[in-house]
């Protein structure tokens, strides 16, 4: 990939929280356990739109990376950063996530095992791959929500406007998914209770286990 314009490595507690507020692409993966057996770092790399660094010192004013020891919270925030920039984060595998992007900012999360995973986008796509979390909360206002591998946890997904949801495998005690105009599709659903609803979007379901409520006003339901 492009050379990072800026990198940070901060010492953290292995159990903490990542809070992100950015207008651009964010990806989060766990640290390499061989290189960081103590799971006590957060690594952040910012790469730019065209890969060429901005005028000296400009980016430093734009992306702020701060760790609050008392809250055990790592914050990554930016106001004026280019929407074509990309921020790549590696956290301890148990870190909770609280990520919010604006505009077309996309979010990609891989192989995290935590208590709380909260993601919110406007038009950006959220891709979650192999997530285990006690609570998974995903919202989008027109973007896509894509689940690869298994999402494991009590899950609440809400997609408004034309936002769509397409998930391979979802497993948890309670699962709620709703869309407005967008497609709602899931291949495998294992839950004690689940509620899948859409206002005008189609609902496409593969294999479902447990008590399920399905509802759509003007879309079709295919099981």
In the predicted model, is pLDDT for residue 1 greater than 80? no
Residue 80 has pLDDT above 80, yes or no: no
Range in 50-59, 82-91, 142-151 with the lowest mean pLDDT:
50-59
Distance CA 56, CA 216 (A): 53
One-character DSSP codes across 146-180:
EEEEEEEEEEEEEE-TT-EEEEEEEEEEEEEEEES
Q: What is the pLDDT of residues 25-52, one digit of tens each?
A: 999 999 999 999 999 999 999 988 655 5
Q: What is the pLDDT of residues 132-145, one digit of tens each?
A: 999 999 999 999 99
Residue 200 scores a pLDDT above 70: yes
Question: What integer pLDDT is reported at residue 71 of this predicted model?
Answer: 95
Whole-number pLDDT of residue 82: 86
Residue 176 CA, chain-centre distance (Å), reads 17
Ordered alpha helix ranges (H), 18-142: 58-62
The β-bridge relationship of strands 184-198 and 164-179 is parallel
Residues 132, 163: Cα–Cα separation, whole Å: 23
φ, ψ for residue 161, nearest 5 deg: 55, -130
């Amino acid at each position: 990939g492009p050379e990072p314009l800026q990198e940070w490595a901060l010492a953290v507690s292995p159990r903490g929280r990542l809070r992100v507020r950015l207008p651009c692409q964010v990806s989060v993966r766990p640290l390499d356990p061989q290189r960081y057996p103590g799971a006590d770092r957060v690594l952040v790399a910012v790469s730019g739109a065209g890969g060429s660094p901005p005028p000296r010192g400009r980016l430093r004013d734009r992306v702020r990376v701060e760790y609050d020891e008392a809250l055990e919270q790592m914050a990554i925030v930016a106001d004026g950063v280019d929407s074509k920039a990309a921020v790549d984060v590696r956290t301890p595998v148990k870190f909770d996530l609280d990520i919010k992007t604006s505009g077309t900012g996309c979010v990609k999360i891989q192989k995290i095992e935590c208590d709380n995973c909260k993601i919110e986008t406007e038009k950006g796509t959220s891709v979650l791959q192999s997530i285990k979390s006690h609570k998974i909360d995903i919202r989008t206002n027109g973007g896509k929500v894509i689940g690869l591998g298994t999402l494991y946890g009590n899950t609440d997904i809400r997609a408004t406007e034309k936002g769509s949801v397409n998930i391979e495998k979802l497993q948890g005690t309670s699962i709620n998914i709703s869309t407005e105009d967008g497609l709602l599709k899931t291949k495998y659903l294992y839950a004690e209770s689940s509620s899948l609803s859409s206002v005008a979007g189609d609902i496409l379901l593969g294999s479902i286990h447990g008590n399920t409520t399905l509802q759509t006003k003007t879309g079709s339901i295919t099981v």
